Amino acid sequence: MSVDDQHDTRFGDTPDVDAVVVGAGFSGLYMLHRLRELGLSVRVYEKADGVGGTWYWNRYPGARCDSESHIYCYSFDEGLLEEWEWTERYPEQPEILEYLQFAADHLDLRRDIEFETEVTAATFDDESGTWTVETADGQQVTTRFFISAVGCLSKPFLPDFDGLDEFEGEWYHTSRWPEGGVDFADKRVGVIGTGSTGIQTIPEVAERAGHLTVFQRTPNYAVPARNRPLEEDEYEEIRANYDDIWDRARNSRLGMPFDSEANSARRLSEEEIHEILDKRWQQGGFRFLHAFEPGHILSNEETNAIISEFIRSKIREKVDDPETAAKLVPTDHPYASKRPPMDYNDYYGTYNRDDVRLVDVEAAPITEFTADGIRTADGHYDLDIVVFATGFDAMTGAILAMDIEGRDGLSLEEKWSAGPRTYLGLGTHGFPNLFTITGPQSPSVLTNMPMSIEQHVEWITDCIEFMDREGYDLIEPTEEAEDQWVSQTNMLADQMLFSEADSWYRGENVPDKPSVFTPFPGGLEMYRGICETVAEKGYDGFELRGAADAATVEK
Ligand code: NA7
């Protein structure tokens, strides 16, 4: 039976579509594919003029994914795995964008996507049990399911600097980069921000610009990525082992198939720990974070202190000028308590160049933009171009940018005013039939994203199939289940070192945003098990309402 056959009893007028999905990145594309397979009518709205999500927008020089390419892709489709071949160990932005375009064509997805269409609002109607979705160009569409696939890092964060309007040069946020690129030749360029993005782009900008000034507030622990081309025989081996690779990735903490040298460093001498770290430093990337079980590194202060000091000593070795080195060495937070960045192109060595200057804006903050550049508390820097590598209103920013109103006129913004409250990061009480792919309080950004996305999309698909089979129209998390989930997420985060950093994981980078640890920190494997148990128990913790009698069925 298709979903449409069931609608007449509760819904009266059949909604325009069964599901509206917002966003055509990794999540939205896969969600569309799976819902179509169920026989649902689906409309995807995408603000950009093409597919790609994050990889459509982030075109800055050096933009690359820190997950290794062979696992930064869909695992569900043999054809995609057979036909696509990554060229390097880590995929660069243009290649990922091309991959997603290829996937959209391979699965024939474009015909259900409306591009250049921004969803501005979604309102739930209690009587009909449907959502009305509104777009910036004035469309209104009714739907049974409203599914957010907007991504965790999609709403750029631009600090509110005085005088930016007066600046006569050019300025760009890294995640709104012009398609044709930016010509840095002979220009005096400033980059604000030394998170993952800044660290990727700074060496690239240094190579292109006349002179580069980096405005750093907090130094970071960049680990060498050790990027290189993937060889043909290596790729054949990957293909031959994909079943095992996916199995291990799905059942791991970080959604990556990497082993650790030891679960814990507790019984090892400092020398033995250093041997392991040296080995993993050579391997680079997230394999370094797997030197010991990542959960151990992220929670054990002693082990983490040794690793943090290990990286500090590497930074000091790389930077010639001891004063500059001291500024680049992080001391305010433990390694990986913020998202650990990767170094692709000799980030630290970049500061040895004569045409690169590091400015410590923690010591002397930026006070304003002027017509000619940036003024800090202790000087003025003449600039032609400024690059904002200042990050995102992460995890909730893009969802809350839509005016979402649930049962009884409850606004999502109001409900989440003290921080997001969800059950499993998949839905929130008061908002029936709203699903959030990689929503707050799911593992998302603490994992290799495609693995988490596939898990969420497949869970949502199974849930909708179950609802149709059993004759339920509406699903909504109970308040109790949600409270319990929020507590569990906070409790797990408190056991780890995340609270020791002011990070976007905790909303600390955006002024006035509630300080709440937002991703689920228990790991993908634990999370997957919880979600499976919930489903096996008939969607435990959700309230389901049937089509015929509209009776409330508490699960
Ligand atoms: P991040 O990691 O949030 O980094 C933003 C950077 O911008 C960080 O160094 C900030 O310093 C800096 N920043 C922000 N506001 C200011 C002001 N007002 N003055 C000076 N410096 C400022 O964003 P990214 O884009 O690098 O990375 C986001 C994620 O995308 C990344 O983790 C990957 O998952 C992909 P702060 O550290 O706050 O002192």
The pLDDT of residue 548 is 52
Tokens of 124: 């739930």
First to last CA, the chain: 24
DSSP 531-555: HHHHHHTTSTTEEEEETTT--EEE-
Mutation pick for ligand 1 pocket among 90, 381, 390 (CB with most ligand atoms within 8 Å): 390
pLDDT tens digits, 176-194:
999 999 999 999 999 999 9
What is the C-alpha to C-alpha distance for residues 509 and 198, in angstroms, rounded to an integer?
Answer: 15
Q: How many residues can be counted in the chain?
A: 555
Which residue has the least CA distance to atom 31 on ligand 1? Answer: 196
The pLDDT of residue 332 is 97
Rounded distance from Cα 214 to ligand 1 centre (Å):
13
The pLDDT of residue 27 is 98
| Sheet architecture: strand order including 373-376 | 366-369, 373-376, 379-382
What is the C-alpha to C-alpha distance for residues 367 and 379, in angstroms, rounded to an integer?
Answer: 10
**Continuous H helices in 220-321:** 232-240, 242-250, 270-283, 286-289, 294-297, 301-318
19: DSSP letter: E
Rounded distance from Cα 387 to ligand 1 centre (Å):
12
The pLDDT of residue 528 is 98
Q: What is the dihedral of CA 292, 294, 297, 299, to 10 degrees?
A: -140
Which residue has the least CA distance to atom 6 on ligand 1? Answer: 193
Contacts of 275 (CB under 8 A, 6+ apart): none
Rounded distance from Cα 398 to ligand 1 centre (Å):
17
Closest among 532, 196, 434 to 338, alpha carbons compared: 196
Mutation pick for ligand 1 pocket among 509, 512, 513 (CB with most ligand atoms within 8 Å): 509
Which is it for strands 17-22 and 42-45: parallel, antiparallel or unpaired?
parallel
For the chain, residues with pLDDT lower than 50 are 1-9, 549-555
**Whether 392 contacts 177, CB under 8 Å:** no
The angle that helices 524-536 and 242-250 make with each other, rounded to 10 degrees, is 80
Which is it for strands 434-436 and 140-148: parallel, antiparallel or unpaired?
parallel
The pLDDT of residue 248 is 98
Closest among 353, 26, 344, 366 to 162, alpha carbons compared: 366
pLDDT tens digits, 115-164:
999 999 999 999 999 999 999 999 999 999 999 999 999 999 999 999 99
What is the C-alpha to C-alpha distance for residues 268 and 248, in angstroms, rounded to an integer?
Answer: 26
**Whether 466 contacts 474, CB under 8 Å:** no
Closest among 294, 307, 223 to 264, alpha carbons compared: 294
Say which amino acid occupies 95: E
The pLDDT of residue 10 is 53
What is the C-alpha to C-alpha distance for residues 416 and 422, in angstroms, rounded to an integer?
Answer: 9
- The number of the ligand 1 atom at minimal distance from the alpha carbon of 194 is 9
- The model's pTM is 0.96
Give the residue carrying structure tokens 């000799």. 346
What is the C-alpha to C-alpha distance for residues 555 and 542, in angstroms, rounded to an integer?
Answer: 6
The dihedral through the CA atoms of 292, 294, 296, 297 has a sign that is positive
The pLDDT of residue 122 is 98
Mutation pick for ligand 1 pocket among 55, 93, 197 (CB with most ligand atoms within 8 Å): 197
The pLDDT of residue 12 is 59
What is the C-alpha to C-alpha distance for residues 85 and 92, in angstroms, rounded to an integer?
Answer: 13
pLDDT tens digits, 81-109:
999 999 999 999 999 999 999 999 999 99
The pLDDT of residue 83 is 95
Q: What is the dihedral of CA 461, 463, 469, 473, to 10 degrees?
A: -110
Bridge partners for 552 per DSSP: 545
How wide is the angle at C-alpha 141 spanned by C-alphas 450 and 126, nearest 5°? Answer: 95
Tokens of 290: 């797997």
- The b-or-e profile of 272-285 (16+ CB within 10 A means b, else e) is ebbebbeebbeebb
